[in-house]
Amino acid sequence: MSSVRRALPEDAAEVLRLRQVMIDSMSPVDSSTAWHAESLPALRERLSDPDGDFAAFVVDHPERPGTLAALVAGTVEYRIGRAGNPNGTIGFVFSVATDPDARRRGYARAGMDALLTWFRARGAVQIQLTASADAAPLYASLGFRPKPDPLMELLLRDA
């Protein structure tokens, strides 16, 4: 198996491609990639900051040089502390994706292990994610449990 590594700025286009793989698997209704060009500069900047609050871990595709097989990304956020997390440091996992032709090789698990290590190094004691039905067994095997939180969302502009 290829080893997991921290994504670099030059990986940004491939990171967006794999994010689109994840988006398409969850909601294949709108598979537009028009937003990629606008998103690319900000992503490159975030990937160039090794001490920032964002990290992406990737696995190079073993059969297709120059492409990625898997992506796991997350952020560390501050929220006012509480019992069980007095420092208020929370990790959020998103954009876990594996190329369809590279699945079932342990890449997502390896990426999650790297991201969880990164979270621990930054003091996060609580990690959150939204899981698809297909991915839920992986997350459960890592110790994640469902929560009954009533998530609500407001979009401040049309996407």
For the stretch 52-86, pLDDT in tens is 999 999 999 999 999 999 999 999 999 999 998 99
For the chain, domain boundaries:
4-141
In a 13 Å sphere around the CA of 149, the CA atoms on its Cβ side amount to 9
113: helix, strand or coil: helix
Of the pLDDT bands very low, low, confident and very high (cuts 50, 70, 90), residue 158 is low
- Alpha-carbon Rg for the chain, nearest whole angstrom, is 16
15: helix, strand or coil: helix
Let me know: does 115 contact 123? Beta carbons within 8 Å.
no
Of the pLDDT bands very low, low, confident and very high (cuts 50, 70, 90), residue 24 is confident
Q: DSSP label at 63?
A: S
pLDDT at 93 over 60: yes
pLDDT at 87 over 80: yes
Question: What is the dotted CATH code of the domain comprising 4-141?
Answer: 3.40.630.30
pLDDT at 143 over 90: yes
Query: What is the pLDDT, as a whole number, of residue 52?
Result: 95
Let me know: does 98 contact 132? Beta carbons within 8 Å.
no
Q: What percent of the chain has pLDDT over 70?
A: 96
Other beta carbons within 10 Å of 93: 22
In angstroms, what CA-CA distances link 24 with 4, 30, 55, 95, 148?
24, 8, 22, 11, 25
Let me know: does 88 contact 60? Beta carbons within 8 Å.
no
Query: What is the pLDDT, as a whole number, of residue 54?
Result: 98
Query: What is the pLDDT, as a whole number, of residue 4?
Result: 97
- What pTM value is reported for the model? 0.90
